[in-house]
Structures are given as structure tokens and as C-alpha cells.
Chain A
């Protein structure tokens, strides 16, 4: 039987606010345990939550970016359960009437355009962390993360393949970092996904029973976890089993998902409106103000790059992968006369490879756009060959400086002087009469031999175009 995979994703996006969702503590990552936990975070008797206006503003921006409805009136609700790293014994979240409702994410997967409708996006606070290592027979609690603002973005279950799920997640990641509401750091947990996965016989309308895989904090883990879960469910059903609704955890070391808790043990969270707060009211003026803060979105910019600069869809997509890439590119080509295609090729080629090797984001690129532009100009005017340009690029990356100054100081000049090239070719032909004869008898292959030798003799500096023309002329006996 052929099986269809059905996926819905819930993504926890940590909002890039300075202070927490309901307290004034810092959201900075990496401090000593409980340094960023004030009376409110510790849930001391008598403390009260006050919602962070910036977090609400970010939620509005997200809603606008995905074409959702912004609830003019929404409520914070309490989700009640006991856990040592949940100081109040409840998490403040949103249940009915979340701040963002509807909207969609448009993306490319496996070469085709996809649209995923969003159910909702709601504001909530994160829990703290239990530390089980380092304390013998005891557990530690770190509340630095407790109260960190999150936007939980929930899709409808319309994703139909692992590739679609991953492409959706990448696009969402691109969007939330692009509009500046999330730092996107997945290692630090700023962007993590829960995947609801079920299978059904191809053609069946009803959904199968779903399992929820929690806390996928990398795209690769997401890909592998969903794939594993798909295969597990299909195999289980084909062997006569029934999938039970449960929460599962992905173990990257063993590349499998394991049951955490089943629906039967599911807690009743006893949601109810938080009586410490008034309804969250958002008026038209606030929405209009947030709209002003919204930059040109990646899809819009990609279209503009295609229309205005003639870039391919592929190149435009690569350049709008993040604000950093787009801004870098725009600095290279805006008002500089630089050929956009040359800039794209260098950015997606050498620059991308070097950043990857150095494990750096473009925002932390040692090579400023101005330096890069200096290099590209010398390629554009023929001063540097591709090979030489790569060498200059590496020097710029390692040592800094300006392309022109490196070219002068180290003699990276392309040999375009005809007389130099001519005498070089003459020497070669004199030294290899047999090969000259072969070429003249029609063996085109030998041409490459001469190009190679000539390049080597010039120390790689021969202008390839000129060399080609000149060499062909000479070999054919034209003087």
C-alpha cells in the first residue's frame, strides 16, 4: 500500500526582546544560573505579570508579514501544571483568541511552490531549565530562561513530505530573522519545532492518529525525525498495529524517536483567562505603526532583484536567504555600476564557501562589502584573472586591506601585453615541434596542451581570452 505522510508544525520562536515576557529581567543567553531571574521570575508570593509591549509588537509584525488577522482583543491564559522549573505552577500563554490568527507561509519545495496556512500564532512565556548533571542525586533549577517571550506559530496539517516540512521551517526561520523578531539561533534554542506526524493510505480523507515529536532544534534533526517517524508508523500499521496518540522525543545519537508520554496520561491543563491581566487590546494605530517597522519581505525583494537586475530565481533566492546576504549584495551593486551577475557569482561562490568553512554568518564576515567591491572591480576591468582574484580574495579574508594595494604590492597583474604573450608562445612552439605538427594535422586536443603550458609559463597571469586567440592564430600559422 502507498502511504501518505501528514505533517503539522508548531514552532517556538524566541522573540528578540531585551527583557522577559512579563518581568523586567534580561533575556541574555549564557549567564550563570539564576542571574537573570527576578522576584517575578521566581514567582515569589505577591508578584504580578506585566506584559512586554515589545513582544506584542513583534507578534503584530509577524502577523502582518504572513497576512494574518491581528486580534484587536486577545487574552492571556494560564496553563496549569506542576513542574519544578515552572515557578508559578502555570505558564502564561494564550488559549482562546490568540493575538495572531490565520495567515500563510509561501515557499519552494522540491521545485514547486507551496503554501501552508497558519492556524495561529500566540504569545507565551518559556519555562526554566532543570539541571540533572553536576549535582549528585539532586537536581538544579536555572530560571534564566523562565519567562522568555515566545511566539508559538502553528500550521494547519497540510505539509505532505519531509522536504516540504523542512522547507517550510527554513522559510519561517528566514522570515522571523528577516523581520528582526528572532535571532534565529537554533543552538541556543531560539527557534525550535514540534512536529505532529501521522500517516494515512494514499487517497484516504480522514487523518490517521498523530504523534507529536518535541523540540527539534535543527533542520537536519527535523528531517531525520519525521522520516523515522513516518517509517515507524507505516511499519507498525502494516504489521497490524494501531498508532496511539503520544508525545515522542527524537534521539539524534540513535536516530530514532521514543515515546515520552501517551494521551491517556495527558494532563488537563485547566486553561482559564489570567485574572492578573486585562484583555490585550491592539488598536489600528498600533498596527499601522508596526507596519511601518516591517521591511521589504524576502519574497518581495527576490522578485525585485529578478525584475530590476535580471537575476535568476535561483540567485535571487540565494541572496534573500537573510537580511545580511541581501544587504551585502545591495551594497555591492547599488550605485556602484557593478555587474549584479558578477557580484552574485562571487557571493554565492567564494564568499559563501569561505563563510561556511569559517562557520561564520555573513553578519560577521571579515570582508566588508567595500573591500569585496574593490576586488570585483578589478575582475570586471580585466586586471585580475579568476584564479588571481581568488588568491587576492584569500589575502583580503586573512589579512584585510584593499584589493588594489594587494595587487600592486604582490604583482597580481594579468599579462595582457601582446608582445610578451607572443614571445612566450613562440618559445613554446619552438620547444614542441611535434605537437605543433599534430595540431596542424587536425588534432584539436593538442590546443589544450599549449594553453596549459602557456599559463604555467606566465605564472598563471596570462589573460586567458587573449592567450586563446593569440595561440590559435599562431598555431594555425597565421602571423
Chain B
């Protein structure tokens, strides 16, 4: 079995036909994870627990139960609470927190018979674009281990890229699925806000957070999304739409597809290699029957500043529950109650989290609220309207996921704003609540992957997955694996 090139559908077929068992498959992945532990993809691995689940899946398979993901091992971002698993969210604050309940996403995968492979590394509380803010150390980009994998879902992206997991869950608040997917050369989907329940997904910025999924291909992602998506009464922002099989329309032809190219996504600041690969991808799409339309997103340059007002504002409040009183990190030395809370937070949170809590507290303060928070909400509305107007002229939007390919560790450590700008193309999608994908479309001159972002109207995941799938039928970029993986051919 060549796990490097085996699709999820093929794995599921192998399980159903008893070519191999879930225990064997899980063990194989656990071995690969151990062999590549230096990549830092996982915060928690618990082979015994995983194999127990695999065994249960084998029993269900033997009884003839054959849901598409039965027995398939899946890596979960450590932002999802999984009952009995250490759930850290990349922070020292939760370094002792064993979740007593399952997130909706975990529950769905468990019910589908999937096996939890482990909990993947991430930027602390999903705040970061390089996975450098994790308390549990950096994740290395499998294509070049001196480069970052992107963030905040860096562990999930690198694990999929190195084929340490066939599928990984992730979350995206400002690009945390699409950006690392692009930098790691894999496919990633951030669904429409409300499509996947946030229940049990540790909150960073509630109005922007959305759970999603990463895999080598769009077809695999369609399988994963079918499991994850659906209404959940425990999330008041969950969208009440009927359950869908996202694999059903993957093969739909692209004849007549109107691809909108936002003027603002093609300009200075994007590297030559990225620009070239995107152009080549668009040519592939034209050969598949699509045509280009240039569109305008006039407020897109405001998306980064708006995001860095709204997301920290929500985060400053969301992270108030970490006070050392009921669970999580508690300082060992303190005088009174106020000091206990202050010290626990001072010790438990890292620098980037503190920066955003302070920023958020500031923008919500009396006297500043109108000028920052309210103003940002108004501009957010304009950004949403830009997208809706653009979708009157096209079916999907395309552009680079990131301005550059993966950067070196510490390259953007000095100036947080420079780091924030690496999400310039992805943040608008979150502000507008839209679904977005990143798919691999080739490599730069040093062999680092380039990602194409595809954005669709609300609840258009079926269309997006089809658009990505047709491209992947015509190309093989998504099948390339890094050299450090046995059998890999590029590096």
C-alpha cells in the first residue's frame, strides 16, 4: 500500500474489502508519525487510545457498517475538544486540560467510525500565521524544514503534506486553513461561517472562527466535509440547512464557469513565482471551459486592519475564562485573588496572545469603542457587500492564497504587522463569512508549494469542491509529496 498516493476513497475501499484493517492502517500512520516526530506536527499522540478506536471500527466494518470514513484515521487540530484527550489549543494555559466532552466535529467523526490519530500542533489559541507561537514548539514545513508551515493550523497542514494523516481537521479565523494549506502544498477548505458547528472548538474570534478540513485532494475533503457539516442546536450561529453529500457533484463540468479575478489580489507585493503559477492555473481552467472576469473588491485593503480590531476584541473577551480558577494553568505563587488571576494569565499565555488581548481590551474600552470597534464593524459590512457585488459578475473568485511561498523561521518575528500581512488575501473571506479553498498549483524556484485560493458565495461548498476537483483531475500537483517522505520525489 503506497500511502503517499492513496486517496481516502481508496483507503476506505481497502478497509471495506478487508485488504487491510483499521488497526493496521492506524498503526502504519502512527509509525510514520513517530518517524517524523521532528516535524513537530502533533502535540498529543496516544497510540493505545487510537488503536482501541481502530479496533472498534474493525468490529463495525465486520458487521457490515460501511460509512465512508469507517476506520479511517484522522488527525485533529488541538483546538477541538476530544473527550479524554489532552486539549491544549497550543497554549501552556491548557497544558493540563483533559477535555471532558467531545466537540461537535469530533463527535461527528467518532460517529462516522473515524479514528483519532492525535492532536495537531497549532499557533497558541489559533493566533499566528507561522505556527511559531505554539507553546509546544514550531512545526516544520515538510518541503523545507527551515521554513514555517504557515498557521495557525500548521500541524494539520504539515501532517497531511508529509502524509502522516490522510485527513486532518483545522480551523480558520483569518486564513488559518488556507494559508498553511498553500504553504504546505495541500488542499484546504474553510466552509461558510455556520456550516460546521463551533461547539467544542475553542474560541478565538467567535464571529470569524470556522472549522474545516485539510487533505491532499478536494475529493478527500468532500468526504470529510460531509461528515463535519450540518446543523447543531448547541451553536446559535449554526446554519439550518439540510445535510448534503458533498461528493455527489464533484465531476460537474466547468463549461461556462465565470472566474472573477479581484483586481486587488493581483498586484505588487506578490512574488513573481506565485504570480506565474496562478496564471498557469488560470490557463488550465480556461482549457477546461472557464473564462475570466476582472472584478473589484474596493475595500479589500482594509480587511487586515478591520480584522486586527475585531478579532482581538472578541479574543480579549473569549479568553477571559482562563483565570486559573476552575481549570487550566494556575500560578503557584500569589497573594490575593486578583494576583492569582493576573499571574496565572501572565504565565499561561504567550506573547502574541497577550498582544491581542491587550489590543482587544483597548479597542473595546470606553472612549475608543466607537472609533475602533464600531468603525471596524461598519467597514466589515462594506467588505461583505464588495464580495456580494462581485458574485453578481462571476461564479467563483480566484487569486493567490498568499503573496509568497513559505518563509523562514523568525523571518517575520520582528514586526507583527508584517506577519499579519501574510493573511492579506485570506482575511476578507472570514469577514464576509464565505467559503474558501486553497489548492496546490505548483512550486516556486526553490521547490516550495504555491496555493490558489478559490472563493465562492455563501453555502457554495459543492461548487467550490467541484471547481477544485476538476483542476485536480487535469493536474497532479496535489499528488506531489516532499522528499523527506519515503518515495517523495521533490524537495
Contact = CB atoms under 8 A, between A and B. Distances in A.
A327 interface: no
A272 B233 contact: no
Interface stretch (B25-33, B108-116, B260-268, B365-373): B365-373
A80 B320 contact: yes
Most chain B Cβ neighbours within 10 Å, of A42, A44, A80, A84: A44
B187 to A, nearest CB: 26
A301 interface: no
A43 B199 contact: no
A80 B202 contact: no
A82 B236 contact: no
A45 B314 contact: no
A141 interface: yes
Contact of A44 (B101, B205, B366): B101
Contacts of A44: 81, 99-101, 327
A277 interface: yes
Given A46-B199, A46-B200, A49-B236, A78 B101 contact: no
Nearest to B324: A84
A275 B206 contact: yes
B306 interface: no
A50 interface: yes
Interface of B: 80-81, 87, 89, 94, 97, 99-101, 103, 198-203, 205-207, 233-237, 313-314, 316-317, 319-321, 323, 325-327, 337-338, 341, 361, 364-366, 369, 373
Interface stretch (A86-94, A212-220, A243-251): A86-94
A49 B236 CA distance: 7
A82 B341 contact: yes
Contacts of A47: 199-200
Interface of A: 39, 42-51, 78, 80, 82, 84, 87-90, 139, 141, 268, 270-272, 275-278
Contact of A278 (B80, B236, B366): B236
Contacts of B361: 270
Contacts of B101: 39, 44
Contact of A46 (B203, B207, B316, B337): B203
A42 B326 CA distance: 8
A83 B100 CA distance: 24
A48 B198 contact: yes
B323 A89 contact: yes
Contacts of B327: 44
Contact of B317 (A45, A141, A272): A272
A421 B236 CA distance: 81
Nearest to B233: A50
Given A39-B100, A46-B203, 11 more contacts: A39-B101, A43-B321, A47-B200, A48-B198, A80-B316, A82-B320, A90-B320, A268-B365, A270-B364, A270-B365, A278-B236
Contacts of A89: 317, 319-321, 323
A88 B321 contact: yes
B384 to A, nearest CB: 15
8 contacts: A46-B199, A47-B200, A50-B234, A82-B341, A84-B325, A270-B365, A277-B237, A278-B236
Contacts of A272: 313, 317, 364, 369, 373
Contact of A80 (B97, B235, B236, B364): B364
B313 A82 contact: no
B487 to A, nearest CB: 38
Contacts of B325: 84, 87, 141
Contacts of B205: 275
Contact of B323 (A39, A49, A82, A277): A82
B104 to A, nearest CB: 9
A84 B317 contact: no
Most chain B Cβ neighbours within 10 Å, of A39, A80, A139, A275: A275
Contacts of B338: 82
B191 to A, nearest CB: 17
Nearest to A268: B366
Contacts of B341: 82, 84
Given A84-B325, A270-B361, A275 B320 contact: no
B199 A87 contact: no
A76 to B, nearest CB: 9
Nearest to A280: B236
A84 B97 CA distance: 19
Most chain B Cβ neighbours within 10 Å, of A39, A45, A49, A139: A45
A50 B87 contact: no
Contacts of A80: 316-317, 320, 364
Contacts of A46: 80-81, 99, 103, 198-203
Most chain B Cβ neighbours within 10 Å, of A88, A89, A141: A89
